Structure 1
Amino acid sequence: MNTKLLAATIAATACGTNAFAAEIYNSEGSTISLGGYVDVGIGEYSSDEVEVHQVSPRLNVSGTQDVGNGITVDAKGEWALKYLDGGDTSFTTRLGYIGMTHDQAGRLALGTQWAPYYDVAGVADMPIAFANDFIYSNHGNLGSGRGDKMVTYRKGFAFGDDMSLDFGLGWQGKHTEAATVYDARGQIAVSFSMMGIGLGYVYNGGEVDNVDAESHAVSLKVGNYSNGLYSAVVYANNDNFYESLYESEQYEVLLAYGLGNGLNLSVNYEAVTGKATANSSDLTQFSQSALQAEYNFTPKLVGFAGYQIDLGDDDPATEDDDKWTIGARYFL
């Protein structure tokens, strides 16, 4: 098995932010790795009061097995950590899947995993503190971020050293969650990259309570995050998809620059507009912009600071709610 291809393929189905893992076993074609990170910050992040908070700490265990004939099987379990508060629920599932990768045939995976939709729409979901909230609205059921109980297939084609074409398919079965019926739904994604520029499109469709709920998303990215100039734009057009709005549009723009000394600066803008019914007015659901800085003290220790400005919405009962935080993330 081409181990570089396997690593790139599995990384493409992981999170868009930095990921580290420590290999603790490697013998006779099998590997086991431990990974994840813990983070802590102080600020007005998850409430209107200044307090100590976490962002999205996680712990994961992964393994690979070369089964011959160019096929490698891999498995991963990942859990979100809740360690700043007491209580009975300290771990909740983020990922849990088994995958199979072949050099020519592509990759098949089953379980709770990052969806092909995220491959396209997640290109602006890079900063630690504030980024791309709309992707995660009911993402497990709709497969817009991590898709619950999902089957995916991905296949990539390389044309030389700087050109590639990637396809992704996803499927989730019918299920009921909190009295809402989600019919079987599917998605298809295609991405093309050349000379550091990437273009992507994804369709995600299925019924929710017997009503078509679908999303079309496109994205553009230029460069690599934290290495020089990086820019990304995401736009999505939805029907009965985002928080059950009859129609909605989502926007995300990210501009970042890595100075090469470990410091990365970024500014982003995010907004959702939409209407509740066919006859209602199109209103701004939320709009916000954040200024952020991240600094790599070491490869495993990153400091971060950010201030998110609430640019308002069309709900007169909603007050502006700026947020800020300063903290650190340590990769295990």
Structure 2
Amino acid sequence: MNKKIIALAVAAAFGNQASAVELYNKDGSTFAIGGHLSVSAQGNSDVGGTDIISNSPRINFTATQDLGNGFTADVRGEYAVNFLKDKSFDEDEGKDVEGDTFTTRLGYIGVTHDVFGRAVAGTQWSPYFDVAGIADMPIAFANDFLYDNHGALGTGRAEGMISYRNDIQLSDNLSIFGGLGWQDNTNTGFDSRGQVALGANFADFMVGYSYNAGDRTDGVASKQEATSHALSAKYGSYGNGLYVAAVYTMNEYMHGTSNYNGVANPGAGIALKDTDAVEFIAAYAFANSLNLSINYEAVESNGNDITKGTVYSQMAFQAEYNITPSFVTFAGYQLDLGSDLTNAENDMWNVGVRYYL
């Protein structure tokens, strides 16, 4: 069996660059600490001003236990780390806000088998994200639309989820993968949700599809079914030569209108009835570890009122350089390409460093 997707699910908490410090390994049990800390200066070219932000720092603790007969159990807790005074990074807002020292990002128990696949219960990266998250790679600026209420909608780190994944090797260069996910209704304004993901890996190529559905009352006048179809394709591995990836989603009541890049839009807090979203990235990593990338993202609303038109569109040029495998410098400049919901523009730049544990 090809274990690419299962391995990705196990290592996802470490971010785009997997790393960890193993503290214990004996008699089939392991314990490790991982994560990363970042500090960067971010400025708004049009609005003005510069902030020192923390670029989604986190620390995680992972333990595994060999259960015998090919089964392995693992447990993970991951926490956003607030090491800037009285602030923590809010991925939905895209900026630092008042917050606690530690907030939960992930917390789950999983069981994996080489043949029977992987089952996980808890707050985790979703099967939908396995397909839709392939363009969410650069440190400074990446895919924003996946994180619009992602915990409740299951488009990123899904809260209260039970999931199953498997990846079946058909030949040396061909495998098919799939995943199922179900969330309970513990989030106010969101009912139980289900999702399915399917795809194939062929040599360095991957194609995938995911469907995500469940009712919501948050941001809508009456209960509505919030659905998303995600299509994606990629070539290569980010940080190793050429990497190209694209994601396209068709959505109903999945996206809102409020506070993209800190700019308030008309109808703030409204869940948009019908949207399309796209993210594209092309990156090339040289042998000296310099990784250059360009990415484009847009969300379009297909409504027939004041929320019709481009919700936001943006393009970023970025560079990342590994001084050592654990110490990375990065810089990016994001162009605001305009919105039909607000006349304000907000070009942004970001320069910083990240240290992986």
TM over 0.5: yes
Q: Secondary structure at the match of 1:123?
A: coil
Residue in 1 aligned with 2:20?
A: 21
Per-residue CA deviation, residues 261-302 of structure 1 (Å, 9 max, x unaligned), is 110000000000014x56667310000000000000000000
**Aligned 8 A contact 2:309 2:340 in 1:** yes
The code of the aligned residue for 2:316 comes to A
How far the C-alpha of 1:237 sits from its partner, in A, is: 0.1
How far the C-alpha of 1:85 sits from its partner, in A, is: 1.7
The code of the aligned residue for 2:78 comes to E
In the comparison of the two structures, how many residue pairs are matched?
Answer: 325
Give the alignment's TM-score, normalised by structure 1: 0.93
Matched, 1:30 2:56: no
In structure 2, do the counterparts of structure 1 residues 176 and 51 end up closer, same or farther at CA, with 3 Å as the change threshold? closer
**Aligned partner (choices 260, 278, 297) of residue 270 of structure 1:** 297
Q: Secondary structure at the match of 1:120?
A: helix
Residue in 1 aligned with 2:205?
A: 197
Per-residue CA deviation, residues 201-230 of structure 1 (Å, 9 max, x unaligned), is 000001112211100000010111111111
In structure 2, do the counterparts of structure 1 residues 218 and 14 end up closer, same or farther at CA, with 3 Å as the change threshold? farther
The code of the aligned residue for 2:250 comes to N
The code of the aligned residue for 2:204 comes to G
**Aligned partner (choices 296, 305, 310) of residue 336 of structure 2:** 310
How far the C-alpha of 1:173 sits from its partner, in A, is: 1.0
Give the alignment's TM-score, normalised by structure 2: 0.87
Distance 1:48 1:246 in 2: 33
The code of the aligned residue for 1:302 comes to V
In structure 2, do the counterparts of structure 1 residues 264 and 248 end up closer, same or farther at CA, with 3 Å as the change threshold? same
Deviates most, 13-22 or 164-173: 13-22
Deviates most, 5-14 or 91-100: 5-14
Task: Map 1:280-291 to 2 at 5 A.
Answer: 282-291=308-317
Residue in 2 aligned with 1:218?
A: 231
Matched, 1:330 2:355: yes
How far the C-alpha of 1:13 sits from its partner, in A, is: 4.9
The code of the aligned residue for 1:194 comes to F
**Aligned partner (choices 161, 175, 180) of residue 150 of structure 1:** 161
The code of the aligned residue for 1:187 comes to Q
Task: Map 1:223-242 to 2 at 5 A.
Answer: 223-242=236-255
Residue in 2 aligned with 1:57?
A: 57
Residue in 2 aligned with 1:121?
A: 132
Per-residue CA deviation, residues 88-115 of structure 1 (Å, 9 max, x unaligned), is 7111000000000112111100000000
In structure 2, do the counterparts of structure 1 residues 202 and 28 end up closer, same or farther at CA, with 3 Å as the change threshold? same
**Aligned 8 A contact 1:5 1:103 in 2:** no
Per-residue CA deviation, residues 3-61 of structure 1 (Å, 9 max, x unaligned), is x8897254465466112111100000000000001000112169842122110100000
Residue in 2 aligned with 1:162?
A: 173
Matched, 1:247 2:258: no
How far the C-alpha of 1:176 sits from its partner, in A, is: 4.0
In structure 2, do the counterparts of structure 1 residues 48 and 75 end up closer, same or farther at CA, with 3 Å as the change threshold? farther
Matched, 1:103 2:128: no
Per-residue CA deviation, residues 69-93 of structure 1 (Å, 9 max, x unaligned), is 2111000000001111237711100
How far the C-alpha of 1:184 sits from its partner, in A, is: 1.0
Distance 1:95 1:41 in 2: 24
The code of the aligned residue for 2:247 comes to V
Matched, 1:141 2:166: no
Q: Secondary structure at the match of 1:129?
A: coil
Distance 1:284 1:19 in 2: 35
The code of the aligned residue for 2:254 comes to F
Matched, 1:112 2:138: no
The code of the aligned residue for 2:53 comes to H
The code of the aligned residue for 2:328 comes to V
The code of the aligned residue for 2:248 comes to Y
Residue in 2 aligned with 1:256?
A: 283
Gapped runs of 5+ residues in structure 2?
88-98, 218-222, 257-270
Higher normalized strand content (fraction of residues): 1
In structure 2, do the counterparts of structure 1 residues 313 and 292 end up closer, same or farther at CA, with 3 Å as the change threshold? same
In structure 2, do the counterparts of structure 1 residues 280 and 51 end up closer, same or farther at CA, with 3 Å as the change threshold? closer
Q: Secondary structure at the match of 2:141?
A: coil
Q: Secondary structure at the match of 2:133?
A: helix
Gapped runs of 5+ residues in structure 1?
none
Per-residue CA deviation, residues 151-172 of structure 1 (Å, 9 max, x unaligned), is 0000110123322111000000
Task: Map 1:37-56 to 2 at 5 A.
Answer: 37-44=36-43, 48-56=48-56
In structure 2, do the counterparts of structure 1 residues 124 and 238 end up closer, same or farther at CA, with 3 Å as the change threshold? same
In structure 2, do the counterparts of structure 1 residues 225 and 5 end up closer, same or farther at CA, with 3 Å as the change threshold? closer
Residue in 2 aligned with 1:85?
A: 85
In structure 2, do the counterparts of structure 1 residues 16 and 331 end up closer, same or farther at CA, with 3 Å as the change threshold? closer
